[in-house]
Structure 1
Amino acid sequence: MSDWNGETQTPRVITGHVISHTGQAGPYEEHVPIPSEAQPGGGHTRGTRPPWVRPSRPRRIARLLVLLLCVLLLTGVGTYAWADFELDRAVALGADGDRPPRGKGTTYLIVGSDNRDGLSERDRKDLHAGGGGGGRTDSMMLLHTGAHGTTMVSLPRDSWVTLPAYLDPGTGKRHRPAKDKLNTAYSLGGARLLVRTVELNTGLRVDHYAEIGFAGFVGVVNAVGGVDMCVDRNIRDRRSGLDLTKGCHTLDGAQALAFVRQRHQEAQGDLGRSRNQQKFLAALAHKAATPGTALNPFRTYPLLGAALDTLVVDEDMELSTLASLFRAMSSVSSGDGRQLNVPVTGAGVSTSKGSAVQWDTVKAKRLFTALRNDRPVNIGEKG
């Protein structure tokens, strides 16, 4: 037998079964020519390649899943390393010294500053952020996590407190303890003096510190696609630029910044603003934790980038600790925690530094003692 190249081939018989058009199987034989060079004594054997067989569907799916898993693992490791490198651990909380003893559970101080880094002149105008270089705190919250869940306590920036003795880094002059508004501590001595002031007036040891500026806040809100917020009245505030009608809205970054900054349209002024800030930050954390955001790389990476641009933390802050803080804030929005203002006896109290907020000494002490000992919070309890 010859092929079309004129080479002699030896027939090979293959036996098996074939299915007829009636559906019955029957024996068959097929004579398949074998090239002479593949036979013994047939001369030089040319290399042959086995016919390509398309992988089965289950095998193709398995390969795709393995590839996807590898990509996710590599991306996750790379993202973690990048975020860990970018995290600005600039705040040294200091050694034990004159600080309160460590309590039970973990206490964070969360600060929103008017740091304008990253904002263009146009941004400052659009956000009603002014032209200053920053140096004040617009929001301050203590967040405690422990055996009894999460408690978030707002500290009004106009709180009338005692500033501890400090050394002015600019002049080298040492200042003695004095009464002043809480947000003055940051403008005089930065994050370190603010932490010391909070610790002195609450008796709580601040375990970790996290601060974000204007640009980072706006970027984070935009990265998650806006945050839903409802208001019970029309709010129009010329100073912050907020203009909302009664009802529910999805606030973008600029609107959100105006919302957490405005206080002149609040009946309780700084106290009302503190409640708005708590409500909004909890909702923001909840939105960022939803699958539609957390599992969407087109939102996750812009979110991380915006946060890391202006986020400042203490030198001992790990990414896992920061993630725990984030989860705790999200849980408050889900109803698994408590949101409180520090108890006060009155707002608009006249002082040598202008109008201020006076804490209720007895109730505030009761609250902070409960947090320090990681006990359930009940401001109305006695003892």
Structure 2
Amino acid sequence: MPHTSAPGVPPQTRGPGQGSQHGSNYDPGYGRGQGRDGYDAGHGQPPGGYDSGYSEGQVYGGGRGGTGAPQRGAGPRPDWRRRFKWGLITLVVVVLAWSVGTYFWADSKLRREVDLSIVEDRPEGGDGTNYLIVGSDSREGMTAEDRKELHTGGPTDQGRTDSIMILHVGDNGNTMISLPRDSDVEVPSYTGSESGKHYPAQGRRTKINATYAEDGPALLVRTVEHNTGLKIDHYAEIGFGGFAKIVDAVGGVEMDIPRDIKDNKSGADFKKGKQTLDGRQALAFVRTRYALPGSDLDRTKNQQKFLSALANQAATPSTVLNPFKLYPTMGAGLDTLKVDKDMSLWNVASMFWAMKGVSGGDGKSMNMPIAGTAPNGNLQWDKAKVKQLVDQLNNDEKVTVTSDR
């Protein structure tokens, strides 16, 4: 097929003497190294064209206002979302490990020494959980100097109950009921906790704290159940020394004392008003009765107030979140706390936590209703009110029964 030139484009022929294969329309300066300038000029580029430094090796010139030095690549940005996720996972693992370790450490220190399986003729259980909380005057683990400082008298092993309380934990508010140590009760039949011998009922009546001295926690639980009709689910007991150590471990407990108190027997010496009590002072405060108008009945009210304040102090973030306070507090309490064999660490925590609420909100604290004085001089319970109170506890109802003393 014959070749035809595009319209308007003259045919290119090789001129005389031109060794180049290009036509005459090529910029003649190209052959002298000027082809670049000619190209740029023909395409509207500014004079000088592209960066002339290219031929001098300045490949990374300052085209963006730089100094002409080579620039380092930015690299990948940190993945903060990924870092946060792994940091959170690490924190959770550490907290879980600490929690599990603390649980097993505390559980190993719990003294499960009280066997409630030997308690006979037990009443049926109701709704909620009932704890029998006992403060004994046991001097276990105390030196002669400790006994002197705490005004606890001579050494005894078995001890006596200095305070007896029933704590009911339920869905309609927690209730703490103090049983005065001089309460008149009937001693039921029972099986000796150590001898295994059966002792039949003889209609004998005595102060409630005497049953603890007679055969320990098992007979005390049996006596409480027999005289109230309320089943005790768990038992917890703490001695003088342990009580004082717990108070010192939490840094003391603030109390608002309503009147001046001076009692040489307990060592109490307080002025009216708010003050922070250390372990020695706290023990004196909860033991004082001779300096109070209502004697033992006023003392039980002070004990309830103090236990609630202690629980609130121990449950503050400054204690719970501070291992330097938490471990000494738990150690002081668990070393001297005796509980029944079926009581778990969760039960202990539930009991302690419930103490916080007995002085406010839906909680209630009271003495066992008293009708008067028995012929033997002991305090006689109001049987009708006691029955109503027990019915409300068994049905986990809000307690409406009141005590006038």
Sort the TM-score into its range (normalised by shorter chain). Answer: 0.7 to 0.9
Structure 2 CA distance for partners of 1:97 and 1:127, relative to 1, 3 Å? closer
Tell me: CA distance 1:307–1:13, structure 2 relative to 1, closer, same or farther (3 Å): farther
Alpha-carbon displacement from aligned partner over 1:122-177 (angstroms, at most 9, x marks no partner): 00000011113142101111111223111111111110001112345469573534
Native 8 Å contact 2:207 2:378 kept in 1? yes
What SS does structure 2 have at the residue aligned with 1:74? helix
Of 297, 303, 316, the residue aligned with 1:271 is 297
Aligned to 2:151: 128
Residue 78 and residue 372 in structure 1: after superposition, are their counterparts in 2 closer, same or farther (change >3 A)?
A: same
Native 8 Å contact 2:135 2:162 kept in 1: yes
**Secondary structure at 1:30 match in 2:** coil
Q: Which residue of structure 2 aligns with residue 364 of structure 1? A: 386
* 8 Å CA contact retained: 2:120, 2:222: no
For residue 296 of structure 1, report the CA deviation from its aligned partner. Answer: 1.3
Q: Equivalent residue for 1:316?
A: 342
Asked whether 1:378 is paired with 2:400, we answer: yes
After TM superposition, the score normalised by the length of structure 2 is: 0.77
Match of 1:102 in 2: 125
Give unpaired runs (5+ residues) of structure 2.
1-56
Instruction: Find the counterpart in structure 1 of residue 314 from structure 2.
Output: 288
Q: Structure 1: how far apart are the matches of 2:264 and 2:285?
A: 12
1:157 equivalent among 181, 204, 208: 181
In 1, Cα distance between the equivalents of 2:347 and 2:164?
19
CA contact (8 A) 2:179 2:368 kept: yes
**Corresponding residue to 2:209 among 157, 160, 183:** 183
Distance 1:13 1:199, change over 3 A: farther
Instruction: Report the Cα offset of residue 72 of structure 1.
Output: 3.0
Q: Percent identity?
A: 51
> Given that residues 14 and 31 in structure 1 are in contact (C-alpha distance below 8 angstroms), is that contact kept between their aligned partners in structure 2?
no
- 1:254 maps to amino acid: R
Q: Alignment partner for residue 258 of structure 2, among 232, 243, 252?
A: 232
1:126-275 to 2 correspondences below 5 Å: 126-133=149-156, 134-168=158-192, 169=194, 172=197, 174=199, 176-177=201-202, 178-275=204-301
Relative to structure 2, which stretch is displaced further, 337-346 or 71-80?
Answer: 71-80
- For 1:174 and 1:299, the matched residues in 2 are separated by 47
Runs (5+) with no aligned partner, structure 1: 1-11, 21-25, 33-52
What do residues 159-215 of structure 1 show as CA deviations (whole Å, max 9, x unaligned)?
000111234546957353421110011111111111011100110010111111111
Distance 1:156 1:171 in 2: 29
Q: Distance in 2 between matches of 1:308 and 1:315?
A: 14
Q: Structure 2 residue aligned with 1:331, among 357, 361, 366? A: 357
The answer to which structure has the higher strand fraction is 1
Instruction: Summarize the Cα distance change of 1:79–1:202 in structure 2 as closer, same or farther, 3 Å threshold.
Output: same
Give 1:40's aligned residue: none
**1:358 corresponds to which letter in structure 2?**
Q
Tell whether 2:120 aligns with 1:80.
Answer: no
* Residue identity matched to 1:335: G
- Please report how far the alpha carbon of residue 61 of structure 1 lies from its aligned counterpart in structure 2 after TM superposition: 7.5
Is contact 1:100–1:205 with CA below 8 Å preserved after alignment?
yes
Please state how far the C-alpha of 1:276 moved relative to its aligned partner: 0.6
Secondary structure of the corresponding residue to residue 108 of structure 1: strand
Cα distance in 1, alignment partners of residues 197 and 249 from structure 2: 42
1:343 pairs with one of 358, 369, 377: 369
Give the structure 1 partner of residue 48 of structure 2. none
Secondary structure at the aligned position of 1:118 is classed as: coil
TM-score normalized with structure 1 length: 0.81
Contact 1:144 1:151 in 2 (8 A): yes
d(CA) in 1 for partners of 2:170, 2:62: 73
Q: Is the 8 A contact 1:15 1:27 kept in 2?
A: no
- For residues 395 and 271 of structure 2, the distance between their equivalents in structure 1, rounded to whole angstroms, comes to 43
Q: CA RMSD in A?
A: 3.0
